[in-house]
């Protein structure tokens, strides 16, 4: 029988790799595989990572309304976790992600109208995309 910790570690690291390569949809899909099996507080942590990836996928798809809505929920997932959890500096991740999407969040309110949908040109520089560097390997 395969060790569940090893599986979680492999999936966690694969999600990080995908996130850092700006493959946010795939990172979110990968982390969902461990999120469904996780218990608190890891469940909230994985939900937060998933939602951080989804925020950036909404950026890619030109959906400012999705960016704003998911960003608000993403932050809330980390509220009860320590500043560094499972090797991830959560405060830095949130700060870097906010810096990357701040221009979108500050758009005029009419840009968030649901009738505009996706495909909008958004003020976003992909070179400022956040990345996640582990401070330690939580499975090592």
Concatenate the DSSP letters of all residues of 99-133 into one string: HHHHHHHTS-GGGG-GGG-S-------GGG-----
Helix (H) or strand (E) holding 97: helix 90-105
The reported pLDDT for the residue numbered 3 is: 47
Question: Has residue 133 been placed in a domain?
Answer: no
Q: For residue 136, tell me if it sits in a domain.
A: no
What pLDDT does 6 receive? 53
CB atoms within 10 A of CB 16: 20
CA gap 59, 81 in Å, rounded: 26
135: in domain? no
pLDDT in tens, 90-137: 999 999 999 999 999 999 999 999 999 899 999 999 999 999 999 999
User: Distance from first CA to last CA of the chain, Å, rounded?
Assistant: 20
Average pLDDT in the chain: 94
Task: Look at the chain and report how many structural domains it folds into.
Answer: 1
pLDDT of amino acid 117: 85
Q: Is 138 within a domain?
A: no
Q: What is the CATH number for 74?
A: 1.10.3450.10
Summarize the confidence of residues 9-25 as an average pLDDT. 97
134 belongs to a structural domain: no
pLDDT tens for each residue of 28-51: 999 999 999 999 999 999 999 999
b/e per residue 95-112 (b: at least 16 CB within 10 A): ebbeebbeebeeeeeeeb
Residue 140 domain-assigned (yes or no): no
Query: Has residue 68 been placed in a domain?
Result: yes
Residue 75 lies in a domain: yes
Token duo for residue 102: 């701040």
Q: Which domain holds residue 83?
A: 4-128
């Amino acid at each position: 029988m395969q060790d569940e910790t090893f599986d979680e570690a492999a999936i966690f690291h694969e999600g990080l790799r995908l996130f850092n390569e700006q493959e946010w949809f795939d990172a979110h899909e990968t982390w969902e595989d461990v999120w469904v099996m996780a218990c608190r507080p890891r469940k909230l942590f994985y939900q937060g990572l998933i939602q951080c990836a989804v925020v950036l996928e909404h950026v890619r798809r030109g959906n400012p309304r999705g960016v704003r809505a998911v960003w608000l929920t993403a932050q809330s997932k980390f509220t009860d976790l320590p500043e560094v959890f499972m090797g991830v500096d959560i405060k830095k991740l949130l700060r870097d992600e906010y810096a990357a999407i701040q221009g979108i969040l500050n758009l005029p309110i009419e840009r968030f109208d649901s009738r505009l949908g996706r495909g909008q040109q958004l003020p976003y520089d992909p070179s400022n995309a956040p990345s996640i560097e582990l401070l330690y390997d939580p499975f090592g």
